[in-house]
Structure 1
Amino acid sequence: MLRLLKVLVFLVVVGFVGLVGFAYLGDLTPDQTVVSESLTLDVD
């Protein structure tokens, strides 16, 4: 039972370190493009 608990704690720690590493090193910035659309206003 103690071995299972150690493995579970190890997996949680490794998962947390991986998540933090991905948050700092992963490039999640979206590609930015200019969007322009003409608009015709119907003014009376």
Structure 2
Amino acid sequence: MLRLLKLLFVLVVLIAVTVIGYAYLGDLRPDQQDVSEPVELDTN
């Protein structure tokens, strides 16, 4: 039982390190571009 808890703890630590590493090193920023569209206003 203790072996299973150790394995579970090691897996949780590895997953946490992986997620933190991906958050810091992963490039998650979207490409930015200017968007302009003409707008017609009905002023009658």
| Aligned residues with identical type, % of pairs | 59
Deviation >6 Å, runs of 4+ = none
Separation (CA, whole Å) in 1 of partners of 2:42 and 2:2: 75
Equivalences, count: 44
Q: Within 5 A, what are the aligned runs for 1:15-34?
A: 15-34=15-34
Q: Does 1:6 align with 2:6?
A: yes
Gap runs ≥5 in structure 1: none
Residue ranges of structure 2 left out of the alignment (5+ in a row): none
Give the TM-score of the pair, scaled to structure 2.
0.91
Q: Secondary structure at the match of 2:39?
A: coil
